[in-house]
Structure 1
């Protein structure tokens, strides 16, 4: 969501179907030894002492102007609803990444605290309807486009927050760290991560029936934009076709509002009388929101924002361990392989496995069993990745509190709301009249 292109200022040199597919294959999967990683941490912004109240646009603008004067190592961006995002620079190790982002967050929180502004890690705003803070052509066009299919797009834009883990695509060759296996593993293990870190069971103060309402919203807003490419073949070929067949959200303009086409795929555009250029392709890639997005590296976009100042460290550490440590990667692969049959032929996040993860969290027995094995493998791998005792303790505490007990952070919020344990479910599983199970 933090990708931004302010306008169309580069000269347009039309690209053909074949050129687009070749470019996508070349830029989206860059293989080699997994050597770097990163994280993008989003936060909901609110009144410090009354977290159910949003901050006025005037105070937000002043606070963000002050934040931009801080000497941060991470990129600081603002989401359409005013959510704050810190995107780390590529780091050479897990601890380098954690150290840099932790220092930046400490500085950001201190400055915001002086302005009586707080940050919270929920996957979706618990109390307030979507409210757009940024007024830019990109987001005007995005809102017009997504409104065609329902209100989910506005919730995605303005009310959601996540922990996005970024890892190298992996080796060209087969094996536990090969790019083909990592791509497949990401789409099966992704459901386990959704379930374990689900933290958005409420909307406007009421239960939605989903442990991760954020994941439901992303799945429901427009399948052609938020679904994964088909698995089973060459990831580069599948992703290139997916990009070509995906709908075009908008056509950028140097001045005035951006045009919002109706039902035009990128393939259609390349065959039109006014075909796109390379810059249009680059922008189109930023408007696709699958749960795992290849951008030279792999973006894991399915994890809800987490509770507590340091909650984001746990999904970063666990995901990194399960993909970058060969032993843990092999364990994860063997653990989630039986789940692939349950996922079926539908792409994530609308297949039965991902729906169960978002709806039930770790109260689902199969997802619970897989999470226990994967978190144990991650815990064993963390010392090999140089994780400090503090990071290992954070992961162990999360495992004891949630994973071992078949719970996720969403269950804490439901317990507060109902005054009792609600892991058995029972709420309506529709949200704004939609049910992605159908």
Structure 2
């Protein structure tokens, strides 16, 4: 995530919270896509993680940020005097840190996948140029393949300290989620409330397919962990009050208000006033709205409180003023481009969206949940309604491809955006995920060692 919102406008009613989300509506002609991805920095010399201040005379995460600031001219984002991110000009993207030093690009809202691919190329070139002076490389997998929790550094961000204290109270894997996972996601627009509901339902139902297609995390602490997406497995017991498949989204009458009602019942992590994060973990936003939050007597909710609270909800698909697809592991650059391509093709062409709904509309809550629970281990072999995901995936990918072709957004070579689906076509043709290929290398040419992944899969 980039940075917390600063908007001191007081909130007087639930209706205002609903209106805040509804303000994200825009005509299809104004639809944009924004891609976010995270990666693990590591020292090339010994494959160790990179602390904030560095070690053994080598620069750390702070030096990466300062180098990127000098190279790009972006504005620093600070927390208690520490640089913890960079903001691009006029809302044009951001660089931020996850709790364990994962280095994140939150891409600018762009019109085409060709632009997001160019943005990724530019970002990686800049990051590698800055990192080279400090012996730092980057690895994009869904889960840290080698380091223990104790070896993983901690970034100086106030909100993360609060979260780290709270997570063990509500699940067994929250610390792993924070410090040892990386994702790629795309943020996409909706035109109306009905359009939001259709896209939310389709993407929730198909998020396990994305998890399988993008699975890259079969390793934990130097060994095979028995999963294709350990990142996805971790989310099954992180903080279930704020995560999961949102079964209520499929209820009759699903609306902005229904999502707001759910969000209001998810416990708070913090309330930010000025530069201070107040730990109110477990508190109620409804109490804050009424000025009755016990930890901050008399303090009333602001719009920034609402926006920040929504950013601490972690369902498989998240609604803010756009929809965030949250089910995929990070991976190699071609996969980082394939993720936004997959969902853009389904969402930004009405025939593709309607076709996807026809595929999933008959599934029950129990079937969707069973698929989500099975997919971290089984990948494309998981099944729903009598069909394996690999088989279903070919139908869904055909819809995405047709949607991108119908968009007809061409690059300088006359190619449409469907070119970015190529790695997914290969995965489905082979019925074999990146995670399965990584496991095979571990058991074969890597001689039961994960260290080669830092060379073979560095980005």
How far off is 1:148 after superposition? 1.6
Contact 2:341 2:420 in 1 (8 A): no
Q: 1:399 & 1:162 partners in 2: Cα distance?
A: 21
Q: 1:394 & 1:227 partners in 2: Cα distance?
A: 28
What TM-score comes out, normalization by structure 2 length?
Answer: 0.79
How far off is 1:193 after superposition? 0.8
Q: Could you tell me which residue of structure 2 aligns to residue 186 of structure 1?
A: 203
Q: Report the secondary structure of 1:398's partner residue.
A: helix
Q: Determine which of 362, 377, 383 is the counterpart of 2:380.
A: 362
Q: Are residues 1:32 and 2:27 paired?
A: yes
Q: Could you tell me which residue of structure 1 aligns to residue 435 of structure 2?
A: 410
Q: Could you tell me which residue of structure 2 aligns to residue 432 of structure 1?
A: none
After TM superposition, the structure 1 = structure 2 runs for residues 248-327 of structure 1, keeping only pairs within 5 Å, are 248-254=268-274, 258-262=278-282, 264-271=283-290, 272=292, 274-278=298-302, 279-307=304-332, 309-327=333-351
Q: 2:32 & 2:15 partners in 1: Cα distance?
A: 29
Q: Flag the 1:329–1:256 CA change in 2: closer, same or farther, 3 A.
A: closer
What TM-score comes out, normalization by structure 1 length?
Answer: 0.83
Q: Report the secondary structure of 1:76's partner residue.
A: strand
Q: Could you tell me which residue of structure 2 aligns to residue 137 of structure 1?
A: 158
Contact 2:345 2:404 in 1 (8 A): yes
Q: Determine which of 198, 211, 214 is the counterpart of 2:228.
A: 211
- Superposed CA offset, 1:370-397 (max 9, x none): 1111122323333333255496455224
How far off is 1:214 after superposition? 0.9
Q: Report the secondary structure of 1:252's partner residue.
A: strand
Q: 1:206 & 1:235 partners in 2: Cα distance?
A: 44
Q: Report the secondary structure of 1:240's partner residue.
A: helix
After TM superposition, the structure 1 = structure 2 runs for residues 226-245 of structure 1, keeping only pairs within 5 Å, are 226-229=243-246, 230-231=248-249, 232=251, 233-245=253-265
Unaligned runs of 5+ in 1: 421-438
Q: Are residues 1:160 and 2:184 paired?
A: no
How far off is 1:306 after superposition? 1.1
Q: Could you tell me which residue of structure 2 aligns to residue 429 of structure 1?
A: none
Q: Report the secondary structure of 2:161's partner residue.
A: helix
How far off is 1:86 after superposition? 1.0
Q: Could you tell me which residue of structure 2 aligns to residue 41 of structure 1?
A: 37
Q: Flag the 1:395–1:18 CA change in 2: closer, same or farther, 3 A.
A: closer
Q: Could you tell me which residue of structure 2 aligns to residue 337 of structure 1?
A: 361
How far off is 1:146 after superposition? 1.0
Q: Flag the 1:127–1:383 CA change in 2: closer, same or farther, 3 A.
A: same
Q: 2:278 & 2:156 partners in 1: Cα distance?
A: 13
Q: Are residues 1:148 and 2:165 paired?
A: no
Contact 1:24 1:240 in 2 (8 A): no
Contact 1:197 1:408 in 2 (8 A): yes
Segment of structure 1 superposing worse, 244-253 or 75-84: 244-253
Aligned residues: 401
Q: 2:18 & 2:7 partners in 1: Cα distance?
A: 21
Contact 2:215 2:229 in 1 (8 A): yes
Q: Which has the higher strand share?
A: 2
